[in-house]
Amino acid sequence: MTTSAVNSPARTGRGTAAATRPLNGSTPSTEVPTPPRARRRWGLFAAMVLVVALGALGNVWLLASTTTAQEVVAARSTIERGSVIAREDLMTVRVELDPALHTLPGGDLASLVGQRAALDVAAGSLVTTESVTETTVPPAGASLVGIGVAQARMPGVTLVAGDQVRVVATPQLATGTATDVTPASISAVVVGTQTGTDATGAGAQTIVTVQVPTADATALAAMTATENVVLVLDSRER
């Protein structure tokens, strides 16, 4: 009996290629798998934003809770005792406050204009409740008198509000006349000074405004009308 050999795919080695080759003879296509689409984690993003916002608010709260800096009134220029306070004399600053200081809030600045300085306030110093007064000048029982004095008849230092002075009469004496009479004098307190003018060309006078008891005002006015007076500075104690 004759047995015919049958060519199996395993024996020929061509079966696999023949099995995968398209019948129409075209080149087989290779499919690239599509990668999975990334998910947007909106919840995580929102949580990060919330953490940053809470951190910023926490810093603001911590700063506010650990500082006592406040806006208060300070002197822009030196304010002399007894002088009227002007707007340009004042400014506001932010400082760390000591509870022992009786400072004035920055919002009270406008209310201080027109009041008088109860103390000398140096430029850059804080203005306290003790620095100002609403006392009217002159008070009851006192009067203001203006005195025109030549420079040579005043102390060599600038007079300021609060200075205690004496107005001394210096009557003109005849040549060769001697007298043991004590010159008349009246004590006063300087309220302010102002440079005046002299129409005769003899030189500018300084107008010194002083406060005296009302009972002495008439005598002082008559004394100064002669222009024969000298101002003596007695004390600058405040």
Where do the domains of the chain lie? 69-133, 142-173+182-235
Beta bridge partners of 70: 95
Asked if 209 and 191 count as a contact pair (C-beta separation under 8 A), the reply is yes
What is the C-alpha to C-alpha distance for residues 75 and 141, in angstroms, rounded to an integer? 31
- Band the pLDDT of 234: cuts 50, 70, 90: very high
Q: What local confidence, expressed as pLDDT, does residue 203 receive? A: 59
What is the SS3 assignment for 19? helix
Q: What local confidence, expressed as pLDDT, does residue 103 receive? A: 87
pLDDT at 90 over 90: yes
What is the pLDDT of the chain when averaged over all its residues?
Answer: 77
> What is the CATH architecture of 69-133?
Alpha-Beta Complex (3.90)
Q: In sequence order, which residues have a C-beta less than 8 Å from that of residue 57 and are 6 or more positions away?
A: none
Asked if 196 and 148 count as a contact pair (C-beta separation under 8 A), the reply is yes
Mean pLDDT, residues 201-223: 86
pLDDT at 2 over 60: no
**Mean pLDDT lowest among 3-7, 40-44, 113-117:** 3-7
- Band the pLDDT of 231: cuts 50, 70, 90: very high
179 to 153, 174, 186, 224, 231: CA distances (angstroms): 21, 11, 20, 21, 21
Between 173 and 48, the higher pLDDT residue: 48
In degrees, to the nearest 5, what angle opens at C-alpha 112 toward C-alphas 108 and 116? 155
Q: What local confidence, expressed as pLDDT, does residue 162 receive? A: 84
